[in-house]
Structure 1
Amino acid sequence: MKAYIQTDKSGEFYNVNAFIANEGFKHFGFETEKFYRIEEINDKNPENVIVGGIGNVRKRLEILGITRNQNEIDYPIELQKYLGRRIWKSTLETVLAEQKFNIFIKPDIETKKFTGKVFKNELDFIGLIDENSPTKVLCSEIINFNAEFRCFIRYKEILDIRRYKGDWNKAINLEIVKNAISDFKTQPNSFALDFGITDDNKTVLVEVNDGHSLGSYGISSQNYAKFLSARWSQLTNTTDYLNF
């Protein structure tokens, strides 16, 4: 069993997530090996886990000849009732042409093209518009969250919940989280449900994130390794040696 962990140019772990993953996999007896560029890895065994940025993980799948669904999870149909706001698909160019401002926009397909944010006026579109190749985006009505939580889900069970933004005194409604897990019939083996607490104290779904390249957000190194292993083994159709 082996896990390849991404580093920076100097050979140090590229962020705290890589360090924590390394500790977790070593704890379970995995051999760990550092890499800087994914092309450095000559190993063709799909069982061996890749820990790194989303681009490197997806590139590794391509190298292994594994086809991945190009669509992100984001807002599954089964979970629309938990969103508490209107969300729709469009293109960046259409939004600008229709002068629809003060909405949250993030890329739908080209996830690395720009970071999702609130577009307030024409200036926010500078450098992003390409009329010859419109950028598909997801648009959302603005909702104020007083606190936001990441719920790590592994094999349909809550692995951990971590507040990553806002008021520490706010509490998430666990029954809503459990109901969302139950309703998400097409869920991967590991993923995150991000929930926010609104001004009227409602627990509302922010978004859903795939588990193959998520940050640790303070969960234990052992749980982080289990979380990453569950999704990698599913993507590669291999054995999850940490499925316990």
Structure 2
Amino acid sequence: MIDPGARQTPSFRAMENVNIMSITQIIIQSQYARSPEAIAIRTAITLDRAGIRVVNSDDPGCDISELPVGSVEFVLSGLRKRLVKAPPVIDYPAPLKRFLLREIRSSILINEIGGEAWIKTRGHEKSFEPGAANRPNLCGINPQTLVYASPFVRWLCEWRCYVANGRLLWRERYDPDGPDDAPEPSERVIQEMLGAYESSGDAPAGYVMDVGVLENGKSALIEINDGYAIGFYGKITPQRSRDYLRVLIARYEQIIGSLKL
């Protein structure tokens, strides 16, 4: 077990079960230079005296020893420059299907537009924000856009669970408009999700599980977000700063090591 307060080596080799190469520099996308994500990263590096340079740039760099941090598009651009394939999309993994508690089907925009479904894009490219299929602003988008479609459900709350190397590091509520007295997701159900995903062998080294409580009181999976580009929610503390960086590095190292072109 890692002592969260222990000093790490320059390449964070104390991280559990991670085959770490030497990270010499972290490149934060310029528009996120003052974001919670950037503050957490700089906090972790400063506290642990890791000897890793942190810079802001609109260029994600091309060296595998440089960790790009920013939007999905920014990080994927960095992977391409490192001659690494984009990882597969893992929004709704098969091992976690039973935890969705709603039908989510693959479709194309033209088959859903104007209807009553809730839709979001499939794939890395996000041509529109998730939401109602009958929004007028969808009319100008390619009708062949791949989407997920599902019935509307009401979430009482939404929580993000940060996971690295099979271990739940922390969780934090992130929905802006749910009731303040909403029940928290069941810890038992969260652990069941984690166990099912990890035991399947499909779970990446770093990711987040977004979990919520439906209006019927049941805890359900909202979606999985890959750990190469994730937001930071909650209070920035030394331990959470380190853990956030653990998720990013664990996933980056895995991608670099297993998905070269």
TM-score (structure 2 length as normaliser):
0.79
Q: How do 1:1-244 residues align onto structure 2 when only pairs under 5 Å count?
A: 1-8=23-30, 13=33, 15-28=35-48, 29-38=50-59, 41=61, 44=63, 46-69=64-87, 71-96=88-113, 99=114, 101-119=115-133, 121=134, 123-128=136-141, 130-131=142-143, 134-165=144-175, 166-169=178-181, 170-184=183-197, 185=200, 186-218=202-234, 220-237=240-257
Distance 1:115 1:204, change over 3 A: same
Q: Is the 8 A contact 1:151 1:161 kept in 2?
A: yes
Give the counterpart letter for 1:8 in structure 2. Answer: S
Provide the rounded CA distance (Å) in 1 between the counterparts of 2:191 and 2:124.
Answer: 31
Instruction: Report the CA distance between 1:124 and its aligned residue.
Output: 4.3
The total of aligned residue pairs comes to 225
Q: Is the 8 A contact 1:5 1:18 kept in 2?
A: no
Instruction: Report the CA distance between 1:90 and its aligned residue.
Output: 0.5
Instruction: Report the CA distance between 1:154 and its aligned residue.
Output: 1.1
Give the counterpart letter for 2:30 in structure 1. Answer: D
The unaligned stretches of length 5 or more in structure 1 are 239-244
* Identity among equivalent pairs (%): 23
Provide the rounded CA distance (Å) in 1 between the counterparts of 2:212 and 2:96.
Answer: 14
Provide the rounded CA distance (Å) in 1 between the counterparts of 2:57 and 2:102.
Answer: 41
Provide the rounded CA distance (Å) in 2 between the counterparts of 1:155 and 1:168.
Answer: 32
Structure 1 ranges of 4+ moved more than 6 A: none
Q: Where does residue 241 of structure 1 map in the other structure? A: none
Q: Is the 8 A contact 1:26 1:32 kept in 2?
A: no
Provide the rounded CA distance (Å) in 2 between the counterparts of 1:68 and 1:30.
Answer: 28
Provide the rounded CA distance (Å) in 2 between the counterparts of 1:148 and 1:156.
Answer: 21
Instruction: Report the CA distance between 1:48 and its aligned residue.
Output: 2.9
Provide the rounded CA distance (Å) in 2 between the counterparts of 1:16 and 1:178.
Answer: 27
Provide the rounded CA distance (Å) in 2 between the counterparts of 1:61 and 1:123.
Answer: 35
Once the two structures are superposed, residues 140-185 of structure 1 have per-residue CA deviations (whole angstroms, 9 ceiling, x without a partner) of: 1111111111111111111101011223431211111111111112
SS for the counterpart of 1:237 is helix
Q: Is the 8 A contact 2:27 2:66 kept in 1?
A: no
